[in-house]
Amino acid sequence: MMNSSQFSYFTFAAYIDTGLFKYLFFMIVMCYYLFIICTNVLLIVVICVNRSLHEPMYLFLCSLFVNELYGSTGLFPFLLLQILSDIHTVSLSFCFLQIFCLYTYANVQFYNLAVMAYDRYLAICHPLQYNTHMTSNKVALLITLTWLLPLGAIIVMISLNASLKLCGDIIDRIYCDNYSVVKLSCSSTTASNVYGLVYSFTVLTGLTVLILFTYMRILKVCFSGSKETRQKAVSTCTPHLASLINFSCGCFFEVLQSRFDMSYIPIGLRVFLSLYFITCQPLFNPLLYGLNLTKIRVIHKSFLFAKM
């Protein structure tokens, strides 16, 4: 058996020769990445510089946008280099670094959406006690845990997988994926598999139950409450629910790509599905929240006009 230290590089098998079109693809991806940066940074600045937006919901949104910048940066610069390169390889250490970035991004995103669901639940179902329950210290604690817990969990995962003995260096993707690396192992992956199952069952399932519970309570209040309550619920929950569904679909596509044989699907569609969770969410959320939340939209317009 070969030890993983014998491999200096992984080779990506999902890239195809596009000839001179690679420069067109490079420009499209570059513009897309720049647009993601501009929209997320703009909303972060709008929230940070306006004290009227220093409320729990907007602070959680700010954390969401920061995470999307982080996740995009873990993919797009690397992807741009690979598009222009004729040899699609990556060093072992950088591959694990990219896995760390993309997996922490996905986990922080899910934690953030769960915390935002809890915040909306308190605001709609317990409006009189909202300020008592959602204090500034609690907001700071929730945001800190939203980042630290996934970081710790992914560090453990990377530590388990980095010690695996590998029998190959071909990854059938266009970026580094944890499951693709684990499939190359010719040593026991029991510890990694058990850790993944325990983490998914205890943490991810727990967050899913929390989100479902909050929306069941919100729906109950909407059906039994006044028209004003229903309007408030719809205006604040619709962007969050749309973001949650979009992210869940992206993760579902990624799981399908990783766990099942998708060779019968055209390679272009497979690439799109594998990238959906990391490429669409960072663009979808700023547009969604920027257009649907009135307070952000109004301040956003005044901010832009003030700069003209």
* Higher-pLDDT residue of 289, 150: 150
pLDDT of residue 1: 38
Confidence at 293, pLDDT banded by 50, 70, 90: low
Give 10-58 pLDDT, tens digit per residue: 888 888 777 788 899 999 999 999 999 999 998 898 888 888 888 898 9
CATH code for the structural domain at 7-307: 1.20.1070.10
Give 74-133 pLDDT, tens digit per residue: 999 999 999 988 888 888 889 999 999 999 999 999 999 999 999 999 988 888 889 898
Average pLDDT over residues 131-149: 94
Give 211-258 pLDDT, tens digit per residue: 999 988 888 887 776 777 777 777 778 888 889 999 988 888 887 777
pLDDT of residue 297: 64
pLDDT of residue 4: 45
pLDDT of residue 306: 56
Three-state SS for the chain is CCCHHHCCEEEECCCCCCCCHHHHHHHHHHHHHHHHHHHHHHHHHHHHHCHHHCCHHHHHHHHHHHHHHHHHHHHHHHHHHHHHCCCCEEEHHHHHHHHHHHHHHHHHHHHHHHHHHHHHHHHHHCHHHHHHHCCHHHHHHHHHHHHHHHHHHHHHHHHHHHCCCECCCEECCCCCCHHHHHHCECCCCHHHHHHHHHHHHHHHHHHHHHHHHHHHHHHHHHHHCCHHHHHHHHHHHHHHHHHHHHHHHHHHHHHHHHHCCCCCCCHHHHHHHHHHHHHCHHHHHHHHHHHHCHHHHHHHHHHHHHHC
pLDDT of residue 62: 93
